[in-house]
Amino acid sequence: MSKRRNPKATANAAPKRQKVRDIFVARPFESLADEPEWIALRELVPAASAPLALKPEIIEEYGDRPVTLSTVLPMAWPAMARQDGQVFVGLQRHVQSGDVSRDIAVAILCALKTEPGGTVAVPALPGEGPRLQDILVDGALDVTMHEGFEYWLDAEQAEDANVKASLERANASIYPTVRLGQPAAYWCRVQPDKSHVRWVLPQDEDTALDALARLSAGGDLLLGENTKFAGMFRAHGLLVPVWDVPGEPEGVDFEAPLSDFAKRYTDILAETGPLDAAGRRAKQGLVGRQLTLR
């Protein structure tokens, strides 16, 4: 005999949650004017910020509040609404969906809906909706490098013990980093005797890989003496070549070598025919030294 349902219990049952479908976008910053710089700040740079400009229709709906992009926020928050009304959004965060652009856009909109000084609640999976490309006035990022994360805080936050502890941990994780003359190129010292130069290339992966393979086959892949091509990151649809360089010279000492490499790279992009045998071997070697960042 089947059990009778309690009509009262059925009436009081919680509504069934609608499942949010994750959406994967391999190249989330595509079509943004400064796509490589977004990727560099997301994956390579410890402490930097840049102001963002909202589209007029977003300002009309949510109000005109200053919005600042930050590589990371206290306790890896996705966003915060400071007491002074400023909104900060974090690029590097623990929880993310398959579309980083949508994650950051929803974090900005949630922060704009939050009263100054309030805690910003951001869903783990944003689902469908506006992306950065839909809410920002596009343009080059005006990046400011920082040696510490004190720029996070207003006066009230500076007195919060949890925030101060997070600030100390975050500051301890910062390694010396210098923004170089090429867009989205950075020098960083990871050990006293070892540094890297990393450059997010703006071309699509296949085009960039063929150009690097041609340079490698011709022996033109290095940044000078005592440098080594360490490999490449695949990050959000673009390639990031990495060079090991000596630890002692500062980042500015690699401006000229990287500029020379950039000229060789730009010139060889004009070669669009099939790779020759040496180029194909070099390409296979480069593919074997790739690491994908997600």
Q: What is the pLDDT of residue 12?
A: 55
Mean pLDDT of 235-254: 90
For residue 198, which of 212, 183, 210, 209 has the smallest C-alpha distance? 183
Residue 127: pLDDT over 70: yes
pLDDT above 90: percentage of residues in the chain: 71
For residue 238, which of 279, 276, 207, 269 has the smallest C-alpha distance? 207
Q: What is the pLDDT of residue 261?
A: 97
Residue 147: pLDDT over 70: yes
Q: Which residues lie across from 136 on neighbouring strands?
A: 54
Residue 170: pLDDT over 90: no
Q: Cα separations (Å) of 191 from 138, 187, 188?
A: 36, 12, 9
Class for domain 177-292, per CATH?
alpha beta
Amino acid at 173: S
Supply the pTM of this predicted model.
Answer: 0.89
Residue 13: pLDDT over 80: no
- In a 10 Å sphere around its CB, with 0-12 CB exposed, 13-18 middle and 19+ buried, how is residue 23 labelled? middle
How many CA atoms within 13 Å lie on the side-chain side of 43? 27
Nearest-Å Rg of the Cα atoms of the chain is 23
Q: What is the pLDDT of residue 2?
A: 45
pLDDT band at 158 (very low <50, low <70, confident <90, very high): confident
Q: What is the pLDDT of residue 100?
A: 95
Q: Which residues lie across from 54 on neighbouring strands?
A: 136
Q: Which two tokens stand for residue 224?
A: 């000078």
Residue 10: pLDDT over 80: no
Helix (H, G, I), strand (E, B) or coil at 241: strand
Mean pLDDT of 141-167: 85
Residue 128: pLDDT over 90: no
Residue 11: pLDDT over 70: no
Answer whether 62's CB lies under 8 Å from 92's CB: no
Mean pLDDT score across all residues of the chain: 90
pLDDT above 70: percentage of residues in the chain: 93
Residue 155: pLDDT over 80: no
5-14, 129-138, 163-172, 266-275: range with lowest mean pLDDT:
5-14
Amino acid at 34: D
Mean pLDDT of 222-241: 95
What is the distance of C-alpha 79 from the center of its chain?
A: 15
First to last CA, the chain: 54
How many CA atoms within 13 Å lie on the side-chain side of 244? 9
- Higher pLDDT, residue 169 or 130: 130
Residue 37: pLDDT over 90: yes
Residue keyed to tokens 């922060």: 111
Mean pLDDT of 196-224: 96
User: What does the alpha-carbon distance between residue 28 and residue 33 come to, in Å, rounded to a whole number?
Assistant: 13
pLDDT digits 0-9 by tens, 45-101: 999 999 999 999 999 999 999 999 999 998 889 999 999 999 999 999 887 899 999
Please state the domain extents for the chain.
Answer: 34-172, 177-292
- The dihedral through the CA atoms of 101, 131, 31, 145 has a sign that is negative
Q: What is the pLDDT of residue 167?
A: 84
User: What does the alpha-carbon distance between residue 79 and residue 68 come to, in Å, rounded to a whole number?
Assistant: 10
Q: What is the pLDDT of residue 7?
A: 53
DSSP 18-69: PPPPP---SSTTTTSTTHHHHHHHHHT-SSEEEEE-B-HHHHHHH----EEE
Residue 3: pLDDT over 50: no
Q: What is the pLDDT of residue 187?
A: 96
**Which helix (H) or strand (E) element contains residue 2?**
none
